[in-house]
Structure 1
Amino acid sequence: MRDRLRAAMVENLRRRGGAAKLLLPARGETLATVAQAHRGDPIAAAVALIREGDPAAISFNQSEADIATFMAQPWVMTGSDASPGHPRVYGTFARKYDVYVRGRHVLTLRQFIDRSTALTAETFGLTGRGHLRPGAFADVVVFDPNAYAARATYAQPTLPAAGVRTVLVNGALAVDRGALTGAAAGRALPHRPTPGSCPGGP
C-alpha cells in the first residue's frame, strides 16, 4: 500500500506544479522547504506532516487565463472555501472587484454585484436574500468603488478589505464608516434548492 500511495502522491504533486507550489500556512513554508529536512524528498516530508496531523496546504497552480475564462461564464458565482490561513477568507470579494472588475475588466460592476448576491441567493434557494426590494432581508454592503480592494496577504490573512463604508446584516449595522460595530446579527442559512435546480450546482 505504501508504494501505491507514494506513486499516487508523486503524480498528484506533478499535477500541482511541484513541491514549491504548495504553501503550508501553519508553518509559513512551502513543501519544498520542509523537504530539505528529509533529504530533499517532498513525499517523505508530506508523509511526516500527515503523521503529525492534518496539515492545510495552499496550492499555487491555477492559470490566470483559466480563472478569467471561468469567471466570465454567466453561472459562475463569487465564493471562497474559507481555508484557514488563506487571505481569500477575508479578501475574496474585494480582490475579485479590484482585479477583475476595476483592473482587468473581465466583469462589469453590475455583473460582479449580481454574481456576488442575487445569483448566489437564487441558486441556493435563499428566499428573501440577494435583492434590494421591499420585504427582503436587509443585507447591504456599501463600498467605495475607487478604494475597494483586498488587504489580506499570506503573511497577514485576516486583514479586512479597504473601502468598505457600511455593512448591514439583517438590518443591523455591522460596519459603520469603515469600523466594525460588534453587532452580530447574522444567522445560518440552510440550503433549500429551488424546484428544478441541480442540488450540486454548476
Structure 2
Amino acid sequence: MTSEREKMLAGEPYLAMDPELVAARARAQSLCARLNALPLGDASRAGVQRELFGAGGGAAIVTSPFFCDYGTQIELGEGAYFNFNCVVLDVCRVRIGARTLIGPAVQVYTPLHPLDAVERRGTEYGAPVDIGEDVWIGGGAIVLPGVTIGDRAVIGAGSVVTRDVPADVFAAGNPCRVIRSLVPSPSGGGRRKFR
C-alpha cells in the first residue's frame, strides 16, 4: 500500500493531515526554529542545516529567518545562499544549484490544490522546482510549482515565475517573462551585460 508521503513525493493527490506528514512538518518547524535562533556565523548552524535539508545544507548559507514545510525535499548546491525571510514549501523536490543567490522574502512553492472545492477539502498534490547554478532571484519573487529556472538566469525582484525560464536570460514581471539575453562580460570579471 502506498503511503501518503510516497504519494506526495510522486506528485499524486495525498492527504496533507496524514500523521506521518504532520510529524515531519513539526520536525521541520522545530529545526527552522533552532536555525533561526542561532546567529549567522555560529558554527552549529551547519549541523542544523544538514539535519534540516535533504542534501547540501552544510555548504549553503541561510540567513534567518527561514521557513520550510519539510526540508528533506530541498537539495542545495555548494554556496547556495538564502537571504532573510525566505519560504520554501517543499512537498516535492526543490533543487537549487551551486552559487545561486535567493533574495530576501523569496517564496518557492511546490504544492498545488485541486480547483474543485470538494476535492480540495482534504487533498493536495505537488510539482518539483529546479533552479540552476549561478542564478540570482531578486527579493520578493515567487516561484510556482513545476518551474525550472536555467543556469545563470536572473529573475527580477517581485516577479511571479509561472513558467520555465531558460539559462542566461533576465526575466521579470507578473507573470515573469524573458526580457533579454545575458552575455558574459569580455573581461571575465563576473559582470554581465544585457543584450
If the length of structure 1 is used for normalisation, what is the TM-score? 0.27
Higher relative contact order (CA 8 A, sep 6+): 1
Which one has a larger percent helix, Structure 1 or Structure 2? 1
Which one has a larger percent strand, Structure 1 or Structure 2? 2
